Structure 1
């Protein structure tokens, strides 16, 4: 994503690019959007990415996760490919991260079950035992409890990490292939995405039937693109070079999609044409905005937006500015913010559901949850910051060493 190549020092070979402030800032933005959009019905949703087009925080989440993982983990894989490091040393950090994410997923699921069960009793609201697929644990508790550790039983709004876990397990192979044959990896990833949409490939839920809300074989595409971007970014290169024609095309695409979303006549016309294409046999994941199969309109929107934001120099300056420091702080502690934010947004859902006529709760809860997440991230940063006496006398700007969720 940098705009220029990093010049190596004499005799040292290529050096990684400094930590890009855009990585942390945009990761922080994605986390804030997840918090806001997971409390449906609040006015702050109008400021999120899904109001600009078809994609939302989920696409940003997977793209940023891939970018950060490519930056963090590709050096060890590259050393192994060159014979300068061990295979397990290259793979184990990624699988260790997947294990951590797995534990967080289990913890969040248990907390969600407890929150809604407690709320159903305290507020005398039986529906809190039914929404978000919660009814399964009361209908078939044995199967549901067994499905929690196998990730087959997923609760609404607590279902994005399972797919990310699967992709992190597969990441060593993708990174190794991406270092050798990036275009081939991209081609295979696109093919897998298309086949997945055609044949509805997915991991089944149990109990309850159906499949995961985010099909790993579909969402691997946006994650793989992020990995390839991250691999190139660490070397001071871009996956897609900046050019005025490409930038103009991307801007035109974003403007058209925005008009599609907000101009009723154009929206009706385009939706009708897409339906006609579907009736003629065009695959559903190509003509529809389906989330499970990462619909093509969603994919085009997030990639065009990512290209534009990464091509404008002022965006990098803004991401590095002190006004963006809270976002960078949240991005640096992504896992903490995601987990804490998930708990807070579930509490927010319950409160807004219990008080549906309240006019102030929708305005206050999302900013309050965001502020609390920032405070938690700031506190963790302060606790982890080395003392002045422990800092090295001379240090380069270190590359990102953590995965996309901190």
Structure 2
């Protein structure tokens, strides 16, 4: 029998600044990492743990979706149809933004080739298939089976959001069963390497929805819990200590070769001794393997469990990142297009600290300007 309807949720009184601030920080780090070879790459989160900003961005997107859309799926009423309309309207917006960003990124690479005389970017990030197999590739771009590198996180998000109505309905009623099913799907998809196929090339999506869903669903259930005014996982000192020690070890493992070797040998020994599935001990981004998944969950718990982090996110110094996080979709789309063009610029400039600084500063300034315009530009009056 279904679980009884939950008690009415206590409305959130204020917007939690942590969600927007950390989403903004993820956008900055994603942009920096997407201009490979710059001197600032070493300061981003992927150099201090097993996961990177992409996992954090997807987790917080799930939390945001849970907060924004969950109320419509709380009761089995006509609000379900309103919720479906709201979610799928957003999915359509995401699709349009992705298509625009895809062809704008292609234009950015073409501009570098035309005006700077360097065509390398036209053959990187899966763009070469536009020239090698144009007819099939154009079809693949439209149906999302072919995605350019660095512009490929929106297809993941829109596919996951398309299923959010079902997930939110379950999250209100059977959250633990939903999480268990999500983990089971993650495990099976990883073991058998299942995922949506690429077309016209081989393999599966780089951001595989069948495995990345476990991060999104965790965020979604967390958002539903926050909607009720509670934490999904209570604050416990032993959990803070355990997650803190794990995060410290992960940082040392990434930074120190001897610790990295110890980690690799230990995971290999576990896999061989207990005959564990490969995706529990490997390091693979497409299948969000065990160490990556454990790291992002530990990081999320650790940061969310200290009141000082919330106070820091509410400080005026964090306001620029909060602004980026509030306007995540247009900022991410612009950053994705810029990074393709700036990769081409970097092919021309080479290793140059001044050029790297100007390239990244200019790109980030454009994203902040777009976010500010979206947030503060006067809205036109509605015509009655």
Distance 2:378 2:220 in 1: 27
Q: Does 1:219 align with 2:212?
A: yes
SS in 1 for 2:205: coil
Distance 1:125 1:365 in 2: 17
Distance 1:43 1:121 in 2: 26
The aligned residue for residue 102 of structure 2 is 109
Q: 5 Å matches for 1:7-46?
A: 14-46=10-42
Q: Does the 8 A contact of 1:17 with 1:233 survive in 2?
A: no
The aligned residue for residue 394 of structure 1 is none
Q: TM-score, normalization: structure 2?
A: 0.93
- For each residue in 1:110-129, what CA deviation from the matched residue of structure 2 results, as whole angstroms up to 9, or x when unmatched? 11222223323433334333
The aligned residue for residue 317 of structure 1 is 311
SS in 1 for 2:163: helix
Q: Does 1:154 align with 2:150?
A: no
Q: 5 Å matches for 1:127-138?
A: 127-138=120-131
User: Which of 332, 335, 338 is residue 332 of structure 2 equivalent to?
Assistant: 338
- For each residue in 1:138-179, what CA deviation from the matched residue of structure 2 results, as whole angstroms up to 9, or x when unmatched? 111110111111001111111111111110001111111010
Distance 1:345 1:334 in 2: 16
Q: Where does the alignment leave 5 or more consecutive residues of structure 1 unmatched?
A: 1-7, 391-406
The aligned residue for residue 58 of structure 1 is 54
Quote how far apart the aligned CAs of 1:267 are.
1.2
Distance 2:255 2:33 in 1: 19
Q: Does the 8 A contact of 1:44 with 1:366 survive in 2?
A: no
- For each residue in 1:71-119, what CA deviation from the matched residue of structure 2 results, as whole angstroms up to 9, or x when unmatched? 00001111x42x3x33210111111111111111111111122222332
The aligned residue for residue 273 of structure 1 is 266
Quote how far apart the aligned CAs of 1:288 are.
1.1
Change (3 A) 1:47 1:184: same
SS in 1 for 2:143: coil
The aligned residue for residue 376 of structure 1 is 370
Q: Does 1:186 align with 2:174?
A: no
User: Which of 299, 307, 313 is residue 305 of structure 1 equivalent to?
Assistant: 299
Q: 5 Å matches for 1:177-256?
A: 177-256=170-249
SS in 2 for 1:209: coil
Q: Does the 8 A contact of 1:39 with 1:346 survive in 2?
A: yes
Change (3 A) 1:342 1:163: same
The aligned residue for residue 401 of structure 1 is none
Quote how far apart the aligned CAs of 1:347 are.
2.1
Q: Where does the alignment leave 5 or more consecutive residues of structure 2 unmatched?
A: 1-6
Change (3 A) 1:386 1:247: farther
| Worse overlay, 254-263 or 66-75 | 254-263
Change (3 A) 1:382 1:121: closer
The aligned residue for residue 111 of structure 2 is 118
Number of equivalent positions: 375
Q: Does the 8 A contact of 2:101 with 2:334 survive in 1?
A: no
Q: Does the 8 A contact of 1:204 with 1:212 survive in 2?
A: yes
Distance 1:128 1:294 in 2: 27
Quote how far apart the aligned CAs of 1:341 are.
1.3
Distance 1:256 1:36 in 2: 25
Quote how far apart the aligned CAs of 1:70 are.
0.2
User: Which of 344, 349, 369 is residue 343 of structure 2 equivalent to?
Assistant: 349
Q: 5 Å matches for 1:86-105?
A: 86-105=79-98
Distance 2:379 2:271 in 1: 55
The aligned residue for residue 71 of structure 1 is 67
- For each residue in 1:24-74, what CA deviation from the matched residue of structure 2 results, as whole angstroms up to 9, or x when unmatched? 111111111111111112222222111110110110110000000000000
Distance 1:285 1:301 in 2: 14
Quote how far apart the aligned CAs of 1:17 are.
4.0
Distance 1:164 1:96 in 2: 14
Quote how far apart the aligned CAs of 1:368 are.
2.5
User: Which of 247, 257, 264 is residue 264 of structure 1 equivalent to?
Assistant: 257
Change (3 A) 1:254 1:357: closer
